[in-house]
């Protein structure tokens, strides 16, 4: 259902004509709308939630507003209208990577291209001091269903390292089990770009093998494996994988941040050398 204060046909901020609800979650709803300024379809995220949800919503809007990259969902506008906070972004048609991977792994060339493109998007974020912290297949969208045209979504729990106000304190775990770096699982207070490198390694591993790096019967078991077990080699699950690719994925998945690639730019350059 829409927020009680907005309905299909409503005009938000004098610019966006709501057309239909496209999805809903714990923090609000996403609607398809018509942008009267450009004539294009846009996605409108409407918030309903508590103060913490509001802070994350505003953080996502501010982060997206400063990240202009073909592999990052395009920011259009944000604000408050009819008592509701909203964030307008480009409208995407296609499917997310998680849905695609249900049908099996990707071709090696496609997996490397996808990972390099996401790494390039992360390179821009990391250059601005922004750590995504929730990179996973469902947050990677395939425009038109193409694995060659991917878009990074959902900066709702992104951390701006230079920010004077930290959104969460030490001991607080934010992220998605199965794609979190060990330091995220521990709740370390300082999470940097190397956590995104680990998460991208998890995504690349899954693209190559068709299964997640870590599998557990419960969240606790899964988190324990991330902390205690070494990640399997991708070559153990996909025969014929070039050793250099196998080594690159393994380095991204190293439990020690100091051993991983330092940021998205370093991953991009390493993958480019493999293609």
| Residues with catalytic roles | 134
∠ CA 225-214-154, rounded to 5°: 110
C-alpha 166/C-alpha 257 separation (Å) is: 21
Which has the closest alpha carbon to 33: 100, 96, 68, 84? 84
Determine the distance from the C-alpha atom of residue 243 to the mean position of all C-alpha atoms in its chain, rounded to a whole number: 28
Contact 152, 117 (CB under 8 A): no
3 state DSSP class of 60 = helix
Q: What is the 3-state secondary structure (H, E, C) of 139-168?
A: HEEEECCCCCCEEECCCCCCEECCCCCCCC
Neighbours of 243 (CB within 10 A): 9
Q: What is the largest CA-CA distance in the chain?
A: 57
């Amino acid at each position: 259902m829409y927020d009680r204060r907005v309905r299909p046909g409503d005009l938000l901020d004098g610019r966006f004509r709501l057309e239909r609800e496209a999805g809903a979650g714990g923090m609000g709803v996403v609607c398809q709308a018509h942008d009267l300024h450009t004539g294009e379809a846009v996605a409108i995220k409407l918030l309903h939630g508590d103060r913490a949800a509001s802070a994350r919503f505003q953080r996502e809007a501010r982060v997206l507003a400063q990240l202009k990259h073909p592999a990052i969902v395009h920011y259009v506008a944000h604000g408050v209208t009819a008592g509701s906070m909203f964030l307008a972004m480009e409208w995407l048609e296609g499917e997310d990577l998680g849905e695609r991977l249900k049908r099996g792994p990707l071709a090696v060339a496609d997996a490397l291209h996808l990972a390099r493109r996401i790494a390039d998007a992360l390179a821009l974020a990391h250059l601005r001091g922004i750590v995504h912290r929730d990179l996973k297949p469902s947050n990677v969208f395939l425009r038109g269903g193409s694995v060659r045209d991917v878009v990074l979504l959902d900066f709702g729990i992104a951390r701006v390292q230079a920010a004077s106000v930290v959104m969460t304190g030490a001991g607080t775990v934010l992220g998605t089990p199965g794609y979190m770096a060990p330091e995220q699982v521990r709740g370390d207070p300082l999470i940097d770009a190397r956590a995104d490198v680990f998460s991208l390694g998890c995504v690349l591993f899954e693209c190559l093998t068709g299964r997640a790096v870590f599998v557990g019967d419960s969240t606790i078991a899964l988190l324990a494996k991330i902390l205690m077990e070494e990640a399997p080699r991708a070559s153990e699950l996909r025969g014929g994988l070039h050793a250099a690719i196998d080594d690159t994925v393994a380095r991204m998945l190293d439990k020690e941040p100091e051993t991983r690639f330092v940021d998205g730019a370093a991953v991009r350059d390493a993958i480019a050398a493999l293609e």
